[in-house]
Amino acid sequence: MSNDSWLTRRDFLMKVGILFNGLVTAALVVPIARFLAASITRGEGKAYFSWVPLGPVTGFPEGETRLATFRNPYVMPSDGKTVDTACWVRRIRGDQFQVFAVNCAHLGCPVRWFPQSGLFLCPCHGGAYYRDGTRASGPPERGLFEYPYRVENGIIAIEAGELPTPGASADLGRRGPPCA
Ligand code: FES
Protein backbone atom coordinates (compact mmCIF):
# COMPACT_ATOMS: atom_id res chain seq x y z
CA MET A 1 0.00 0.00 0.00
CA SER A 2 1.50 3.31 -1.04
CA ASN A 3 1.76 6.26 1.27
CA ASP A 4 -0.43 8.34 -1.10
CA SER A 5 -3.38 5.95 -1.04
CA TRP A 6 -3.15 5.72 2.76
CA LEU A 7 -3.41 9.51 2.97
CA THR A 8 -6.33 9.55 0.56
CA ARG A 9 -8.17 6.94 2.60
CA ARG A 10 -7.44 8.87 5.77
CA ASP A 11 -8.73 12.08 4.19
CA PHE A 12 -11.85 10.31 2.99
CA LEU A 13 -12.59 8.85 6.44
CA MET A 14 -11.97 12.22 8.04
CA LYS A 15 -14.43 13.90 5.70
CA VAL A 16 -17.04 11.21 6.36
CA GLY A 17 -16.47 11.71 10.07
CA ILE A 18 -16.93 15.47 9.81
CA LEU A 19 -20.09 15.01 7.75
CA PHE A 20 -21.46 12.48 10.27
CA ASN A 21 -20.68 14.77 13.20
CA GLY A 22 -22.34 17.66 11.37
CA LEU A 23 -25.51 15.64 10.81
CA VAL A 24 -25.64 14.51 14.44
CA THR A 25 -25.08 18.06 15.65
CA ALA A 26 -27.84 19.36 13.39
CA ALA A 27 -30.20 16.62 14.55
CA LEU A 28 -29.59 17.69 18.15
CA VAL A 29 -29.46 21.45 17.72
CA VAL A 30 -32.39 22.06 15.34
CA PRO A 31 -35.16 20.75 17.66
CA ILE A 32 -33.67 22.62 20.62
CA ALA A 33 -33.44 25.84 18.60
CA ARG A 34 -37.04 25.41 17.39
CA PHE A 35 -38.21 24.84 20.97
CA LEU A 36 -36.43 27.95 22.21
CA ALA A 37 -37.65 30.04 19.28
CA ALA A 38 -41.23 28.86 19.84
CA SER A 39 -41.23 30.26 23.37
CA ILE A 40 -40.23 33.66 21.98
CA THR A 41 -42.39 33.82 18.87
CA ARG A 42 -45.46 31.87 19.96
CA GLY A 43 -47.56 34.98 20.63
CA GLU A 44 -46.80 36.40 17.20
CA GLY A 45 -48.42 33.59 15.25
CA LYS A 46 -51.94 34.19 14.05
CA ALA A 47 -53.26 30.94 15.46
CA TYR A 48 -52.07 31.38 18.99
CA PHE A 49 -54.66 33.93 19.99
CA SER A 50 -57.36 33.23 17.45
CA TRP A 51 -61.03 33.86 18.03
CA VAL A 52 -62.73 30.49 17.88
CA PRO A 53 -66.52 30.25 17.50
CA LEU A 54 -68.41 28.10 19.97
CA GLY A 55 -71.76 28.42 18.21
CA PRO A 56 -74.92 30.51 18.23
CA VAL A 57 -75.78 32.12 21.55
CA THR A 58 -79.21 30.51 21.24
CA GLY A 59 -77.49 27.21 21.98
CA PHE A 60 -76.76 28.49 25.48
CA PRO A 61 -79.97 29.22 27.42
CA GLU A 62 -79.89 32.10 29.89
CA GLY A 63 -79.11 31.07 33.44
CA GLU A 64 -77.58 27.76 32.37
CA THR A 65 -74.08 26.37 32.02
CA ARG A 66 -73.32 24.06 29.14
CA LEU A 67 -70.32 22.18 27.84
CA ALA A 68 -68.94 23.32 24.49
CA THR A 69 -66.05 22.05 22.45
CA PHE A 70 -63.76 23.78 20.03
CA ARG A 71 -60.73 22.92 17.96
CA ASN A 72 -57.62 24.49 19.38
CA PRO A 73 -56.21 26.75 16.65
CA TYR A 74 -52.67 26.21 17.84
CA VAL A 75 -52.15 22.75 16.39
CA MET A 76 -48.95 20.79 16.37
CA PRO A 77 -48.66 17.68 14.19
CA SER A 78 -48.23 15.52 17.29
CA ASP A 79 -51.36 16.85 19.06
CA GLY A 80 -53.84 14.34 17.65
CA LYS A 81 -57.22 14.35 19.35
CA THR A 82 -56.03 16.70 22.09
CA VAL A 83 -56.74 19.68 19.81
CA ASP A 84 -60.43 19.10 20.50
CA THR A 85 -60.85 21.10 23.68
CA ALA A 86 -63.82 21.47 26.01
CA CYS A 87 -64.94 24.50 27.97
CA TRP A 88 -67.90 25.40 30.15
CA VAL A 89 -70.11 28.20 28.88
CA ARG A 90 -72.27 30.05 31.40
CA ARG A 91 -74.81 32.41 29.91
CA ILE A 92 -75.73 34.88 32.59
CA ARG A 93 -78.18 36.95 30.52
CA GLY A 94 -78.31 38.39 27.03
CA ASP A 95 -74.79 38.61 25.68
CA GLN A 96 -73.25 38.35 29.13
CA PHE A 97 -71.27 35.12 29.42
CA GLN A 98 -68.52 33.44 31.31
CA VAL A 99 -66.46 30.79 29.53
CA PHE A 100 -64.43 28.59 31.83
CA ALA A 101 -61.52 26.34 31.03
CA VAL A 102 -62.56 22.77 31.69
CA ASN A 103 -59.38 22.13 33.65
CA CYS A 104 -59.26 22.44 37.39
CA ALA A 105 -57.05 25.25 38.64
CA HIS A 106 -55.30 22.79 40.98
CA LEU A 107 -53.67 20.16 38.77
CA GLY A 108 -55.78 20.34 35.65
CA CYS A 109 -58.30 17.50 35.95
CA PRO A 110 -61.50 18.19 33.98
CA VAL A 111 -64.19 19.64 36.22
CA ARG A 112 -67.87 18.79 35.84
CA TRP A 113 -70.84 21.07 36.27
CA PHE A 114 -73.60 19.91 38.62
CA PRO A 115 -76.64 22.16 38.11
CA GLN A 116 -78.47 20.57 41.07
CA SER A 117 -75.89 21.89 43.50
CA GLY A 118 -74.76 24.83 41.40
CA LEU A 119 -71.15 23.72 41.66
CA PHE A 120 -68.30 22.68 39.44
CA LEU A 121 -66.68 19.65 41.04
CA CYS A 122 -63.28 18.17 40.36
CA PRO A 123 -63.08 14.37 40.58
CA CYS A 124 -59.38 14.26 41.40
CA HIS A 125 -58.96 15.90 44.80
CA GLY A 126 -62.39 17.29 45.58
CA GLY A 127 -61.93 20.84 44.38
CA ALA A 128 -65.22 22.76 44.12
CA TYR A 129 -66.15 26.03 42.43
CA TYR A 130 -69.29 28.14 42.51
CA ARG A 131 -71.31 28.78 39.35
CA ASP A 132 -69.38 32.00 38.67
CA GLY A 133 -66.13 30.04 38.70
CA THR A 134 -64.89 31.29 42.05
CA ARG A 135 -63.30 28.78 44.38
CA ALA A 136 -65.67 27.12 46.84
CA SER A 137 -63.44 24.57 48.58
CA GLY A 138 -60.66 22.06 48.20
CA PRO A 139 -57.04 22.34 47.12
CA PRO A 140 -57.37 24.84 44.23
CA GLU A 141 -55.96 28.20 45.30
CA ARG A 142 -58.07 30.19 42.88
CA GLY A 143 -61.18 30.05 40.73
CA LEU A 144 -61.54 28.48 37.32
CA PHE A 145 -59.64 30.08 34.46
CA GLU A 146 -61.72 32.03 31.99
CA TYR A 147 -61.40 32.62 28.29
CA PRO A 148 -61.98 36.09 26.88
CA TYR A 149 -65.12 35.99 24.76
CA ARG A 150 -67.07 38.15 22.36
CA VAL A 151 -70.48 37.93 20.73
CA GLU A 152 -70.85 38.95 17.10
CA ASN A 153 -73.82 38.33 14.83
CA GLY A 154 -75.32 36.01 17.40
CA ILE A 155 -72.21 33.83 17.59
CA ILE A 156 -70.13 33.50 20.72
CA ALA A 157 -66.41 33.14 20.18
CA ILE A 158 -63.52 32.76 22.60
CA GLU A 159 -59.91 33.71 22.32
CA ALA A 160 -58.33 30.31 22.39
CA GLY A 161 -55.04 28.73 21.54
CA GLU A 162 -53.30 28.89 24.85
CA LEU A 163 -54.78 27.10 27.82
CA PRO A 164 -55.06 29.57 30.67
CA THR A 165 -52.48 29.04 33.37
CA PRO A 166 -51.64 30.99 36.52
CA GLY A 167 -48.82 32.75 34.66
CA ALA A 168 -51.03 33.69 31.71
CA SER A 169 -54.22 34.49 33.58
CA ALA A 170 -53.33 38.12 34.19
CA ASP A 171 -52.63 38.44 30.49
CA LEU A 172 -55.98 36.96 29.58
CA GLY A 173 -57.74 39.28 31.99
CA ARG A 174 -56.19 42.36 30.41
CA ARG A 175 -57.14 41.40 26.88
CA GLY A 176 -60.68 40.20 27.49
CA PRO A 177 -63.77 41.06 29.47
CA PRO A 178 -63.39 41.23 33.24
CA CYS A 179 -63.28 37.92 35.06
CA ALA A 180 -65.59 37.07 37.95
S1 FES B 1 -56.93 18.61 40.18
FE2 FES B 1 -58.83 19.40 40.86
S3 FES B 1 -58.67 19.39 43.01
FE4 FES B 1 -56.76 18.62 42.32
pLDDT digits (tens, 9 = 90+) for 73-121: 877 777 777 788 899 999 999 999 999 999 999 999 999 999 999 999 9
User: Percent of the chain, pLDDT > 90?
Assistant: 53
99 lines ligand 1 (CB under 6 A): no
Ligand 1 centre from 126 Cα, in Å?
A: 6
pLDDT of residue 2: 55
Atom of ligand 1 nearest to the CA of 104: 2
Backbone angles phi, psi at 106, to 5 degrees: -85, -80
136 lines ligand 1 (CB under 6 A): no
Ligand 1 centre from 111 Cα, in Å?
A: 8
The reported pTM is 0.68
**Residue 96 CB: number of other CB atoms within 10 A?**
12
